[in-house]
Amino acid sequence: MAALMRILALMIKEFLSLLKDKKSRFVIIVPPLVQLLVFGYAATYDLTRVPYAVYNEDSGGAARDLLADFHGSPYFHRVAVITHQQQIAPLIDDRRALVVVHIQRQFSRNLLSGRSGSVQVIVDGRNSNTALIALGYVRDIIVAFNLRWDNDHHITGPPAQLVTRAWFNPNLLSRWFVVPGIVGLLTLVVTMLVTALSVAREREQGTFDQLLVTPFTPLEILLGKALPGFIIGMAEATVMIVAAVWWFDVPLLGNLLTLYVGTVLFVIAAIGVGLAISAISATMQQGLLGAFLFLVPAIILSGFTTPIANMPQLVQWITLADPLRYFVVILRGVFLQATPWHLLAGQMWPMALIGGLTLSTAAWLFRHRSY
Amino acid sequence: MSAASAISPITSATDILELKNVSKRFHIGKREVRALEAVSFVMQPGAVTGLIGPDGAGKTTLMRLVAGLLCPDGGEIRVLGIDAAKDPQSIQSSIGYMPQRFGLYEDLTVQENLDLYADLQGVLPGDRLKRYEDLMRMTNLGAFRGRLAGRLSGGMKQKLGLACALVRGPRLILLDEPTVGVDPVSRRELWAIVYRLVENQGVSVLLSTAYLDEAQRCRDVVLMSEGRILHQGPPSQFTQPLTGRTFQMHVPGITKRSLMRELGGRPEVVDAVIIGDDVRVVLSRAPEAQKQVTAAFSGAVLVAVPPRFEDSFVDTLRVGKGEPPPTPSAKPAAVLPAAPVAIVKTIVPPPKAAGAVIEVKNLTKQFGAFYAVHDISFSVAPGKIFGLLGANGAGKSTTFRMLCGLLPISGGMLRVAGHDLRTARAAARGRVGYMSQKFSLYGNLSVMENLRFFASAYGLMGRNRSRRIDEVLGEFGLSAVADMNSGGLPLGFKQRLALAAALMHKPDILFLDEPTSGVDPLARREFWHRINALVDAGVTIMVTTHFMEEAEYCDELAIMAAGRILSMGTPAQIRHSAATPANTNPTMEDAFINLIESAQRKAA
């Protein structure tokens, strides 16, 4: 009973010192919302309005039809029509055009006489990822043109045709892929900021000593410090999930309970890491620096932007210690695939393990960090 | 050297420093702090002028204004004939300024620090060698030129800082609290350097200090409080009105503590503090008051003693504000009510077993190869005040942190109320109160919220909790500020709040780490009145301090230096141990210097 009252008193104190301060109130409310909007709109792999230039040497109807397809596509935006070979290089060099479509002189005549015509596509390869995506779009337009041409001229097409249909994200919208990840990322950032400063602030101001000479046990201090972080972290995650569904229109297909079990475990792991960092730090500056030293690799290694399977084996092992890695899988699974509980259990227990280890480290450090 | 040999070759009186109606305000959040208000004075050339006052009086602001680092909101400052507001650059290039924390580079050697400052201040290479020789001779740092500045002791760092500030040979130097936290031996050396500068080179020195006893060492004193100048003049002018009003008093059959308390309640007594086995009193009017006091205490022995500067300070502030002693901090008396001192009634002395409450045997703390505390032993009997006295870095705080269970010990044994608090169950800590050096409170929580938190931390609940908080608010005069954020309170109030929080659960052992540092003399007196009341109620007190005169409040005292206890005993015993034929009645500071010097001789 007395222990419960003490924990409650510590929680009230933590909330008061967080919420009474205008700056820390700002830190937990404004940046996450701004980041959600910025990431939600800006972090996309989709290429739209690819700037392209046309170099058409053919005056025939087939070439006109093909170029009309480019013109009508929402993915392409014509920036120039050129008439000389020499004009190509400056356009690409200045990044005015990403793609130059060059139709050769004999194109229409060849097609009409039953032979194949060639289209040259020049792509700016400086950003290889973008170049490949643009090239893919070009290929799609040409394949569609081919099919239509064959159909109209009663030519038998190639014996095997590729028809693609994407599962879980039929329109391949990258927002569907990115936004659930952001839920995890921002929950991590806010929870870490709240907890990583909590002990460090008290050490810097000397109040932690005062706390240690009272009858508080390390476990009580741990709970009193962790619970406010937990409540804030869960609230933050909920706001993000709601925004993902209602603002960004990402479908939430799976079980909400599964999602929340994952969220609870993830927030606990994040609090554990934050408190452990905080318990090592002697000043707020060290706490903040420690939090960022953890946050940046944790985000890069989480598979949020780049697939973990692409990383070198050694780095893949390191990712096993990253709680965000597991939560990103859970988020995407529950949001887009309706992955059932039993398939996600393998992502749940590592987070619980990380949380348990870091929280006990933090509690031990409260009393044993000597300086 | 006599004062007559002091020469002021270049300057006339108004040249050095003149302030006219200077005011400066700061805004902290929504609050406006009036750091200086209508301050005017003229500094005497070729002498040491002391800028004296408690923390928050405006000393540092004044220094920074003179150095051209801040712009005044009103008034005019002329330094060496230059207007500080218009041309701060040329002032900075012609004076020496040593701020409170001088910017020594701890990873550079003594010599490298000197070179750096010589470069920064544009000292010509040809002049350097002789200048360095002079400075090294003056500061006695010659042997340590190759040592890293970070490895120097506190006193040596201050001397090096002073040498760096002097490297160009300025006509005016500003020293901001150069002696704070420095041990008495280094303090004496620093003063010797300052005197030599004045006498041999005609330098004018403006020196600020919170130690009132240093006022007597200045030619001219500017006494400041709350941003105003209370009085300016030679030190003798301050103490002169007190002649015949200061006595050392002693009444057979009454303990010094209860005598002090009773004296404190009398209208004719301005001040009463404990000195050794006696009580030192300052009376309001010379002959009548003496009669009244003698009549009130039968058998009282009053011995006339010369007045000290501190007496005049207390007299000026108390009488000036029409406040009877021993009411607390004179500071915000207009807005905030003073706290009555009445703790006795609320603390029921627990039945005490005989034997030591705190026991320490061969206690050692090592950080790597460095001994912060080296093999110390002492014990504290119940209901006594035990003091640890020493300079910064002597090992006092380390000892304290070990006793409170905040730091593991490297060797030896310690017991607090029969427990090692580091391993004891949480409940054992409930018997101990702790007040840390920085008055550690949650600055953005209100006074009420702080008290609520600490009350709950000590297991007070519901009606018990609110009753105890009400009691404490009343006792410590905090009711009027209950809803104010504790971070914005004046230091004296923070100190009271910290003590209130530490006493929330009525502990029977109280640890006080530098409880009065930075607090003005009136608040210090009030604080010790409370502590005395607690001891009378049976509480055991353990206290650290670097104020020599506060040692007198202790029943027993250990003097620490470099991690060791140099001497232990009652304050009188320690003082008498330093008695020599030349000095039959040494002060605590004399004893301290004596002990340190003999320890150094032994080591050498």
Q: Is the pLDDT of residue B536 over 90?
A: no
Q: How far apart are the first and last CA of chain A?
A: 34
Report pLDDT for B332: 35
Classify residue B340: in a domain, yes or no: no
Q: What is the pLDDT of residues A266-276, one digit of tens each?
A: 999 999 999 99
Contact between B579 and B171 (Cβ < 8 Å): no
Q: What is the pLDDT of residue A327?
A: 96
Contacts with B100 (C-beta within 8 Å, 6 or more apart), sequence order? B60, B176, B177, B180
| CB A262 within 8 Å of CB A331 | yes
pLDDT at A287: 92
Structural tokens at position A121: 């596509």
- Give pLDDT, residue B319: 64
Looking at B485-494, B535-544, B560-569, which range is the least confident one?
B485-494
Q: Residue A290 burial (CB < 10 Å; 0-12/13-18/19+)?
A: buried
Neighbours of A65 (CB within 10 A): 15
Dig out the tokens for B440 from the structure. Answer: 């550690």
Residue B316 class from Cβ within 10 Å (0-12 exposed, 13-18 middle, 19+ buried)?
middle
Strands B48-52 and B204-209: parallel
Element (H, E) at B274: strand B269-275
CA distance B91 to B174: 12
What pLDDT sits at residue A301? 93
Q: What 8-state DSSP symbol labels residue B348? A: P
Number of Cβ atoms within 10 Å of the Cβ of B426: 18
Q: What is the span of the domain harbouring residue B126?
A: 3-233
Number of domains chain B is built from: 3
- The answer to whether residues A36 and A75 belong to one domain is no
What mean pLDDT is predicted for residues B409-423? 85
Residues B270-295, mean pLDDT to the nearest whole number? 81
Are A238 and A339 found together in one domain? Answer: yes
Instruction: Please tell me whether residue B390 adopts helix, strand or coil conformation.
Output: coil
Please list the residues that pair with B269 across neighbouring strands: B283
**Gap between the Cα atoms of B258 and B533, Å rounded:** 9
B399 part of a folded domain: yes
Of B297, B326, B355, at which residue does a domain stop? B326
Name the nearest CA neighbour of B112 among B45, B30, B167, B60.
B167
Same domain, yes or no, for A144 and A58?
yes
Distance of CA B229 to the CA centre of its chain: 20
Q: What percent of chain B has pLDDT over 70?
A: 90
B222 shares its domain with B319: no
Q: Is residue B130 part of a domain?
A: yes
Within a domain: B13: yes
CB contact under 8 A, A212 and B406: yes
Q: Is residue A97 part of a domain?
A: yes
User: Which one-letter DSSP state was computed for residue B419?
Assistant: B
**A333 burial level (CB within 10 Å; 0-12, 13-18, 19+):** buried
B64/B139 same-domain check: yes
Same domain, B104 and B39: yes
Asked whether the whole model's pTM tops 0.90, one would answer no
Mention every residue, 6+ apart, whose C-beta is less than 8 A from residue B484: B446, B447
Provide the mean pLDDT of chain B.
Answer: 82
- Based on the fold, state whether residues A127 and A31 are members of the same structural domain: no
Residue B556 β-bridge partners: B386
Considering only the beta carbons, identify the residue of B437, B444, B457 that sits closest to A9. B457
Residues B166 and B183 reside in one and the same domain: yes
Here the tokens at position A30 are 């404004």
A167, part of any domain: no
Is B331 within the bounds of a domain?
no
Together in a domain, B95 and B243:
no
Higher pLDDT, A244 or B480: A244
Characterize the bridge pairing of strands B556-561 and B385-389: parallel
Residues B350 and B467 in one domain: yes
- From chain A, the residues in CB contact with B488 under 8 A are none
Helix, strand, or coil (residue B140)? coil
Residues in chain B with CB shorter than 8 Å from the CB of A214 are 429-430, 454, 457-458
User: Do A267 and A141 fall into the same domain?
Assistant: no
Domain-located, residue B530: yes
pLDDT score for B533: 86
Q: Give the nearest partner residue to B444 out of A21, A212, A370, using CB atoms.
A: A21
Substitution target from A6, A26, A202, A209 for chain B, most B beta carbons within 10 A: A209
CA distance B261 to B273: 9
Q: Which of B210, B233, B256 delimits the end of a domain?
A: B233
Residues B320 and B417 in one domain: no
- C-alpha to C-alpha distance for A23 and A29, rounded to whole angstroms: 10
Do B291 and B350 lie in one domain? The reply is no
Quick one: pLDDT at residue B30?
Answer: 66
Domain annotation covers residue B418: yes
Q: Which of residues 8-67 of A touch B (CB under 8 A)?
A: 8-10, 12-13, 16-17, 20-21
The region of weakest confidence among B67-71, B124-128, B202-206, B263-267 is: B263-267
B449 CB within 8 Å of a chain A CB: yes
Residue A143 lies in a domain: yes
Residues B378 and B514 reside in one and the same domain: yes
Looking at the fold, whether A237 and A348 belong to one and the same domain comes out as: yes
Test A209 with B401 for CB contact under 8 angstroms. yes
Q: What is the DSSP letter of B349?
A: P
Taking a C-beta distance cutoff of 8 angstroms, is the pair B535, B541 a contact? yes
Instruction: Return the closest-CA partner of residue A175 out of A362, A79, A348, A39.
Output: A39
Q: Report yes or no: B440 and B515 within 8 Å, Cβ to Cβ.
A: no
Residue type, B374: H
A168 inside domain: no
pLDDT band at residue B327 using 50, 70 and 90 as cut-offs: very low
- Cα B194 to Cα B50: distance, rounded to the nearest angstrom: 12
At A260, which amino acid appears? Y
- Total domain count, chain A: 2
Looking at the structure, tell me whether residues A38 and A57 fall in a common domain. no
Q: How many angstroms separate the CA atoms of A204 and B30, rounded?
A: 25
Torsion angle, CA of B497/B502/B508/B512, rounded to 10 degrees?
-90
Cross-strand bridge partners of residue B222: B51, B232
* End-of-domain residue from the set A102, A131, A152: A152
Which residue is associated with the tokens 């701020």? B99
**DSSP-derived secondary structure for B77-138:** EEETTEETTT-HHHHHTTEEEE-SS----TTSBHHHHHHHHHHHTT--HHHHHHHHHHHHHH
A206/B438 CB distance under 8 A: yes
Backbone angles phi, psi at A101, to 5 degrees: -100, 120
pLDDT (mean) for B226-241? 86
pLDDT level of residue B320 (50, 70, 90 thresholds): low
ipTM of this complex prediction, to 2 decimal places = 0.77
In Å, how far from its chain's centre is CA B129? 38
Segment among B416-420, B514-518, B527-531 with least mean pLDDT? B514-518
Look up the CATH number of the domain holding residue A98.
3.40.1710.10
Q: What is the mean pLDDT of each run of 10 residues along chain A (371 residues)?
A: 88 90 83 86 81 91 92 90 91 92 91 88 90 90 89 80 82 86 93 90 87 89 94 94 93 93 97 94 91 94 90 94 95 93 93 96 83 53
- Do residues A213 and A329 both lie within one domain? yes
State pLDDT tens for residues B164-199.
888 888 889 999 888 876 777 788 888 888 898 888
Task: Give B3's DSSP letter.
Answer: G
Q: What is the largest CA-CA distance in chain B?
A: 77
Residue B235 corresponds to which tokens in the numbers above? 């030190």
User: Last residue of some domain: B326, B360, B382?
Assistant: B326
Nearest CB neighbour to B445, from listed A10, A17, A370: A17
Residue recorded with tokens 């194949």: A116
Contacts of B222 (CB under 8 A, 6+ apart): B41, B49, B50, B51, B52, B229, B231, B232
- Residue the block writes with tokens 């034929």: B581
Q: How far apart are CA B508 and CA B433, in angstroms?
A: 8
Judge if A192 and A248 occupy the same domain.
yes
Does B197 or B325 have the greater pLDDT score? B197
Would you call B529 helix, strand, or coil by DSSP?
helix
Q: Confirm or reject contact between A369 and chain B (CB < 8 A).
A: no
Residues B73 and B21: their CA atoms lie apart, in Å, by: 10
Task: Judge whether A288 lies within some domain.
Answer: yes
Per-residue pLDDT, A236: 92
- Mean pLDDT within B506-513: 91
Name the β-bridge partners of B371: B366
Tell me the CATH number at B599: 3.40.50.300
User: Does a structural domain hold residue A166?
Assistant: no
| Same domain, residue pair A67 and A147 | yes
A212 found inside a domain: yes
Instruction: Show the domain range for A23.
Output: 2-43+187-368
Does B566 or B489 have the greater pLDDT score? B566
- Quote the CA–CA distance of A343 and A353 in Å, as a whole number: 18
- On whether the CB atoms of residues B424 and B592 are closer than 8 A, the answer is no
pLDDT in tens, B92-131: 888 889 887 777 888 899 999 999 998 888 888 888 888 8
A24 to chain B: closest CA residue: B444
Asked if residue A174 belongs to a domain, the reply is no
Last residue of a domain, one of A97, A132, A152: A152
| Alpha carbon of A9: minimum distance to chain B alpha carbons (Å) | 6
What residues contact B272, with CB distance under 8 A and at least 6 apart?
B259, B260, B263, B264, B279, B280, B281, B282, B325, B326
Pair (A233, A204) in one structural domain: yes
State the average pLDDT over residues B520-546. Answer: 86
Do A223 and A362 belong together in one domain? yes
Q: How far apart are CA B4 and CA B11, in angstroms?
A: 17
Three-state helix/strand/coil letters over chain A: CHHHHHHHHHHHHHHHHHHCCHHHHHHHHHHHHHHHHHHHHHCCCCCCCEEEEEEECCCCHHHHHHHHHHHHCCCEEEEEEECCHHHHHHHHHCCCCCEEEEECCCHHHHHHCCCCCCEEEEECCCCHHHHHHHHHHHHHHHHHHHHHHHHHCCCCCCCCCCCCCCCCCCCCCHHHHHHHHHHHHHHHHHHHHHHHHHHHHHHHHCHHHHHHCCCCCHHHHHHHHHHHHHHHHHHHHHHHHHHHHHCCCCCCCCCHHHHHHHHHHHHHHHHHHHHHHHHHCCCHHHHHHHHHHHHHHHHHCCCCCCCHHHCCHHHHHHHCCCHHHHHHHHHHHHHHHCCCHHHHHHHHHHHHHHHHHHHHHHHHHHHHCCC
Name the residue in chain B with its Cα closest to that of A22.
B444
What's the pLDDT at A370?
Answer: 57
Statement to judge: residues B475 and B570 lie in one domain? yes
Nearest to B204, CA basis, from B77, B71, B18, B2: B18
Residue B11 has pLDDT above 80, yes or no: no
Cβ atoms of B515 and B546 closer than 8 Å = no
Chains A, B: CB contacts under 8 A, how many? 82
Residue B434 lies in a domain: yes
Sign of dihedral through CA atoms A356, A359, A365, A366?
negative
Decide if A211 touches B, using CB distance below 8 A.
yes
d(CA B183, CA B154) in angstroms, rounded, equals: 8
Same domain flag for B394 and B513: yes
Please give the Cα distance from B423 to B414 (Å, whole number). 11
Put simply, the answer to whether B405 touches A213 (Cβ < 8 Å) is: yes
CA separation for the pair A224, A219 (Å, rounded): 8
